[in-house]
Each structure stands twice: as structure tokens, then as C-alpha cells.
Amino acid sequence: MMISTLPRPALGPTGATLVIAACAACFGLVPLFVRDLQALGAGPATIALYRFGFSALFLLPFVPLERHKRGGALLLAGAGAVLGLSLIGYLEAMTRAPVAAAGVVYMSYPVFAALFAWVLLRQALTWRSFLAAGLVLGAAALLLDPSSLSSEILSALLWAIPAPIAFGFLLVVLSGPAGQLNSLERTVCGLLGSVAGLLPLALQEGQGTVLPSSPEQWGLIVAMGLMTVLIPQVLFTIACQRVGPVRTAAAGSLELPAMFLVGWLVFGEEVGLREAVSALLVLSAILAAPAIRAGQGPSSVVLRPG
């Protein structure tokens, strides 16, 4: 079958890291569409369904049907379902809290990616892993303004916490234990899992329907699907298999400066010295994170200082 013989791009660690960073910048555009769709009457579960469902439709021909691939497909679908459900709180936080504050919570996912890689892939927690995670968390912490944390905003941010946990888990699954699935098969399985988890909640939100009600909604859905899921997610899935979950999580943290740029340029949120320092810390984390290929064994993962 053509699907099983798709060529693998010859990406080295540096090229793969750059691809992941570019994809992360595209992911950072999500708030741009979330707030507009919510203004048109769509709820968070419906918006998340639109985001994943659009791309899943295009990738349906790549659903793996072979028996030996079912285990990996079900694992990815389960991880996708958990991520899809957890994103409801994150999307709601985007509408009730500053974009930068929601990004702060989400950018904790490198820590969870490192922990899941340690548990599931037996990849050692090295000093470079801790340094990369610490730099990302430090960058995120700079963007939190305690004076702005009203009880409503704090509640919204607490509900956003499951999203980085779920994304950290999905990163590890995409990078490693997905059997013999190729990149497109991994992507569509994760997307379909998200759709399956979100559909009942979206139907409840829309009182039995999830179809967009206006040409403006359709336009936003198509743009969001192409720019923040379909194209970047396929490239992201290919690239993350070249460097492993730790560097993937660090390079993916470029989503944070992209988010506060959206907040500044589109929503008029303040960007100053703290945001600039935060961006530099994120770039430092990308350089510090170890590049680990998913196929390597645990003995080749350990990076000892000195």
C-alpha cells in the first residue's frame, strides 16, 4: 500500500528542532481563533472539536487497518482523547484570562514530557533535561503577574492544568511507543481519539448539533484547521521522532512567545522586558535540551555531565 511506503524526510536533529519550533509558533496562533469563535457563540468543547475534526477528515485515508498496528493506534487514540478533553479547560482559560497567563500554565508540559519519558521509555532524567525544563518554567513564571490573579482567573487557570499533563503524555507516545505506525498514521489516530472524546460534549453544548451556523464560522474553522493543526501537526509528528520528547518539548515551548505576541498585537496585552527575557529563556531551553531519538535504548539516552 502507498500509505506504508511513504518516504521519510532526511531530517537531522538541528533541522527537526527548527521544524518543531516553527510548528509551535503555528500552535501559538490558536487564541486568535478561539476568541473569535467564542464571540460567535461556540463553546470550548465545540471549538476543540472543530480544530481536530477538520484535520481528521483530511487524514482519514491514512487510518491504519492492519492488525499488527492496532495496538499502537489504540494507544495514540486514547492519548488523543485525553488531550482533547483536557483542552476544554485550556480553551476556556484563554477566554477568561490573559493569553500569556494561559500560556504560562500550558508551558509546564516539558516537565511532564520528561517524567513520562522516564516512566514509559526508560529515558533517564539527566542534568540537561532538568535544565531545559527549568528554563521553560522560569520563562513561564516571568509572565505571571500576581496582582492580576483574581479568583475567576485563578479558577480558569486551575482548570487548564490537565492540558499540559495530557500533552506531555502525547509527546512521549508520538515519539516512542506507537508500534510500526508512520507519521501520518500517528497523527490521524491522535486526532480521531480527540474527536471521539470531544463529540459528546460538543453535541451537549450545541444542543444536538455541532455544524457551524455562519460562513464566518466556516472560514475561521478552515483557517484554524490548516494553520494550527493539519499542516503543523503532521510536520511536528515527523520531526519529534528525530529528537525525542525532551528536545521536542523544549523546542515546542516557542509556542509561548508566539502566544504573547498574539496577545500584544491582536488583543492589546502588554509586552515588555519580562516577555523579552522569557523568550530568551525559551530559546536557551531549546539549545540545552538533549536530542534523543525515539529508537535509542536507555543506555544511549543518559547524558552525563563532564
Distance CA 17, CA 94 (A): 27
Residue 9 belongs to some domain of the structure: no
pLDDT at 176: 66
CA-CA distances (angstroms) from residue 161 to 67, 85, 130, 139, 238? 36, 12, 20, 17, 27
Residue 306 belongs to some domain of the structure: no
Nearest alpha carbon to residue 107 among 271, 281, 256: 256
Domain, as residue range, for 153: 26-299
Please tell me the total count of domains within the chain.
1
CA-CA distances (angstroms) from residue 28 to 21, 24, 196, 235? 11, 6, 24, 15
First and final C-alpha spacing in the chain: 48
- Could you tell me the pTM of the whole model? 0.72
CA-CA distances (angstroms) from residue 24 to 107, 127, 135, 228? 11, 24, 17, 9
Residue 15 belongs to some domain of the structure: no
Residue 278 belongs to some domain of the structure: yes
Distance CA 192, CA 63 (A): 9
Residue 211 belongs to some domain of the structure: yes
Distance CA 69, CA 72 (A): 6
Residue length of the chain: 306
pLDDT tens, per residue, the chain with 306 residues: 334 444 455 678 888 888 888 998 888 888 889 888 988 888 889 998 998 898 899 889 999 988 888 888 898 899 899 988 898 888 888 888 877 778 778 877 777 888 888 888 777 778 877 887 788 778 777 766 666 667 888 888 888 889 989 988 888 887 766 667 887 888 899 899 999 999 998 998 888 888 888 899 999 999 998 888 888 888 888 888 788 777 787 787 778 778 878 888 777 777 777 777 877 787 777 677 766 544 443 322 222 222
Distance CA 106, CA 27 (A): 12
Residue 43 belongs to some domain of the structure: yes
Residue 5 belongs to some domain of the structure: no
Residue 2 belongs to some domain of the structure: no
